[in-house]
Amino acid sequence: MASSAAPAPGTEETMVGTMIIADDEQDGDGDSAIGSDNESNTTSLASSVLDYNFENGRRYHKFREGRYVFPNDDREQDREDLKHAMIMELVGGVLHFAPIGDSPQRVLDIGTGTGIWAIDMGEQYQSTEVIGTDLSPIQPKWVPPNVRFIVDDCESDWVYQPNHFDFIHGRHLAVAIRDWPKLLKQSFKHLKPGGHAEFQEILVFPESDDGTLPQQSTLRQYFRYVNEAFEKLSIDLRAPSNLSKMFRDAGFEDVHEKVYKIPLGTWPKNPVLKKVGLFQRTNFLEGLSAISLAPYTRVLGWSTEALEVWLTEVRKAILDEKTHSFDYMFFVYGRKPVEAAGG
């Protein structure tokens, strides 16, 4: 039933290649990541997991329908891979900051998306078992043998064994997670004592150091509307700036927070930031309709026509090089105390 990779979605092969946790796989033998004491949230997925919803010409996940409001089609996957390249540029190619040693046994990447981070981890740590989970079975078929993917909702109770993983990682999930304290608690429970968790999250509200982004600017207004939509979805877009406290509240120790600026546009003088700013501008322009459609139309009730008119303004603002705006990105990691046990 399980294999190391998820083939192209929508094909017969996907059913075979994507691991769908079924009752008979929850017998909790020592080798499995899956525990025996938990009702699977992924049981009986076969029908819905391969299905998609289509809205305004974009494709969305069907399993746990509506949970994640951005598309999962090829165009959006390309954008996710572009964001990965941008972050690698920003941080000098490191996949994580947590001190996980040279040979962690088991790594979990939640909300893995195209699986690009998980695949890079699998290549870097070849003796490590890397599992990526997501609502969408959109991961590539050909991946390193130590990497596999599971369709799962990370906000449901986890079926993995307690005290199991050496490292749990998530990135760009601020637009998805409704209950961060629960997610961190579950991460804590399923980490081995001494294991690490790390979340890498962008605070989407743009800032500027030189007064070129006034309060009434189009960019700020764009994100005020986005925030209004996410508040209705019970998603706190400001969570990234609060993550380190939430780590400590969940019981983690030795919590570190690294904050980077992601510029929008090529205005920075620093060559690395100039390149990152170019990536970010491309990402934002390319993704503008994807990230706006559902929040503005499905959640806030705008017409697609009104949205298009507004996005024309927003595109102009994104391209305005006189505005020196940036986002903060938070890399937060912490350790489960050696004396702590999960469960």
Ligand X SMILES: C[S@@+](CC[C@H](N)C(=O)[O-])C[C@H]1O[C@@H](n2cnc3c(N)ncnc32)[C@H](O)[C@@H]1O
Q: Does 176 participate in binding ligand X (rule CB under 6 A)?
A: yes
277 binds ligand X (CB under 6 A): no
Q: Among residues 135, 246, 290, 314, which is the contact residue for ligand X, using CB under 6 A?
A: 135
Q: Does 58 interact with ligand X (rule: CB under 6 A)?
A: no
Q: What is the 3-state secondary structure (H, E, C) of the chain?
A: CCCCCCCCCCCHHHHHHCECCCHHHCCCCCCCCECCCCCCCCCCCHHHHCCEEEECCEEEECCCCCCCCCCCCHHHHHHHHHHHHHHHHHHCCCCCCCCCCCCCCEEEEECCCCCHHHHHHHHHCCCCEEEEEECCCCCCCCCCCCEEEEECCCCCCCCECCCCEEEEEEECCCCCCCCHHHHHHHHHHHEEEEEEEEEEEEEEEEEECCCCCCCCCHHHHHHHHHHHHHHHCCCCCCHHHHHHHHHHHCCCEEEEEEEEEEECCCCCCCHHHHHHHHHHHHHHHHHHHHHHHHHHHHHCCCCHHHHHHHHHHHHHHHHCCCCCEEEEEEEEEEECCCCCCCC
From residue 231 to residue 250, what is the string marking binding to ligand X with x (rule CB under 6 A)?
--------------------
Question: Cβ of residue 126: shortest distance to ligand X, in angstroms?
Answer: 21
Q: Cβ-closest residue to ligand X?
A: 113
Q: Using CB under 6 A, which of 104, 111, 144, 263 touches ligand X?
A: 111
Query: Whose CA is closest to 159, among 198, 108, 193?
Result: 108
Choosing from 9, 35, 104, 113, the residue that interacts with ligand X (CB under 6 A) is: 113
Closest CB to ligand X among residues 135, 143 = 135
User: Which of 134, 166, 198, 327 is close enough to bind ligand X by CB under 6 A?
Assistant: 134
Q: How far is the CB of 277 from ligand X (least distance, A)?
A: 19
Stretch binding ligand X (CB under 6 A), from 25-33, 129-137, 273-281, 287-295: 129-137
Q: Give the range of 61-69, 187-195, 218-226, 323-331 binding ligand X by CB under 6 A.
A: 61-69
Q: Is 25 in the site for ligand X (CB under 6 A)?
A: no
User: What would the x/- binding string for ligand X be over residues 143 to 162, using CB under 6 A?
Assistant: ----------xxx-------
Q: Considering just the CA atoms, what is the radius of gyration of the chain in Å?
A: 20
Q: How far is the CB of 212 from ligand X (least distance, A)?
A: 28
In whole angstroms, the minimum distance from the beta carbon of 67 to ligand X comes to 5
Residue 117 binds ligand X (CB under 6 A): yes
Q: Closer to ligand X at the Cβ: 286 or 320?
A: 286
Which residues form the interface with ligand X (CB under 6 A)?
61, 67-68, 80, 84, 111-113, 116-117, 133-136, 153-155, 171-173, 176
